[in-house]
Amino acid sequence: MKTITTTADLAAFCSEAAKHDYVTVDTEFLRERTYYSKLCLVQLAMPGTDDSNAVLMDPLAKDISLEPLYELFRDTSVVKVFHAARQDLEIFFVDAGVFPEPLFDTQVAAMVCGFGEQVGYETLVRKITNGGVDKTSRFTDWSRRPLTDAQKTYALADVTHLRQIYEFLAEKLEDSGRGRWVQEELAILTNPDTYVTQPREAWKRVKTRTNSGKFLGIVRELAAFREEYAQTRNVPRNRVFKDDALVELASLKPKNTEELSRSRLLLREARKGEIAEGILKGIAAGVACPPADLPKPDRSRDKLQVNPALADLLRVLLKAKTEQAGVAAKLIAPAADLDGIAAGLRDLPALSGWRREVFGNDALRLCNGEIALTAVGNDVKVVEV
């Protein structure tokens, strides 16, 4: 198997790949010790039935440039095929602001084609190619050189089987006319907002037991400091301080390093230096925040009057519709959205785009009393009222 370690060889491969309809892509990376993923390997394969058209590209090789790969990503005549592409796309977007276009994600396509929710690569290999994947090298250190033969074999399998999976799913989508459904989902994956975390919005991911604006004001400042610190130094946010310590600090509101040292949950390294200084400044800013500027939690669902009987009927309808369409139910609507529809909410994903065609239109008709559900043997049928 060939490993590319020079820009010239990468350019030659990408030039040849540009002559084909598609190329399969995968990556190996590390993220345990960094905020941003560290790209360690890129696997690429052109159409074919063996390994001769597949390569490994070493981004850690001295002086190699990824620009030829990015040029291939920009070439709209070649489909770039990934499986579960989100983390791969984040790497390329952060590095060069590039999204592969056009993009095909076999995990998304498989869910639309009835293979279940977030179906794994190994499952698709087994069901579509009747092959298998040795995953023993999955959690190895991909930054160490040289790579072992086992690592190379494992990595290459992630793009060679993907060719047959792509061809199978692409044909299935063509026959079913559901290609547009996949494109709607992929639009989210190629939206820069999906990969940009604004420090001032980071507080929304912190779970607290209160909706107090004053408390959340401190949480917002601490979360913003942590995010900025982690981003600028490329360290995991939990290495700065964890969520439980953040919530504890928002409750204790220490004013100096002596009070800060009384925290039970704060890491020892965070009790001094830049992190300690940032924590104290953040707490002070949160305490001093004017009431009008305090964060306002989303209470739009707090007072919803959910009709439990209608919610149960919507669940039955969803199960019937997704079984009929061969689509994963959670891809259409999570349980919280079904409760929202039953409570009168209408600005929900299940009521727009292709989801509305599969489920949303009948869900609204059910809410309006225009249709009913009846059991016919083991099946649930929709009947006009």
Write out the two tokens for 294: 């305090």
Q: Which of 170, 194, 218 is the last residue of a domain?
A: 194
pLDDT for position 300: 63
For a pLDDT cut of 70, what percent of the chain falls above it? 98
Is the omega angle on the peptide bond into residue 47 within 30 degrees of 0, that is, cis? Answer: no
Residues 189 and 208 placed together within one structural domain of the fold: no
Find the domain containing 316 and state its range. Answer: 308-384
Residues 243 and 347 placed together within one structural domain of the fold: no
Task: Give the pLDDT band (50/70/90) at residue 299.
Answer: low
pTM of the predicted model, to two decimals? Answer: 0.90
Distance CA 231, CA 235 (A): 7
Q: Which residues of 350-382 are buried (b: 16+ CB within 10 A; e: fewer)?
A: bbeebbbebbbebbebbbeeebeeeeeeeebee
pLDDT for position 301: 62
Residues 203 and 190 placed together within one structural domain of the fold: no
pLDDT for position 145: 96
Residues 145 and 212 placed together within one structural domain of the fold: no
Task: Give the pLDDT band (50/70/90) at residue 365.
Answer: very high
- Average pLDDT of the chain is 94
pLDDT for position 378: 85
Residues 249 and 118 placed together within one structural domain of the fold: no
Q: Which of 142, 170, 194 is the last residue of a domain?
A: 194
CATH number at residue 162: 3.30.420.10
Q: Where are the alpha helices (DSSP H) in the chain?
A: 7-17, 67-74, 86-96, 106-112, 121-124, 149-176, 179-189, 213-233, 237-240, 243-252, 257-260, 273-288, 308-325, 329-332, 335-342, 353-355, 361-367
Q: Which of 194, 221, 252 is the last residue of a domain?
A: 194
Residues 171 and 204 placed together within one structural domain of the fold: no
Residues 211 and 112 placed together within one structural domain of the fold: no
Count structural domains, the chain: 3
Mean pLDDT of 227-247: 97
pLDDT for position 239: 96
Establish if 299 belongs to a structural domain: no
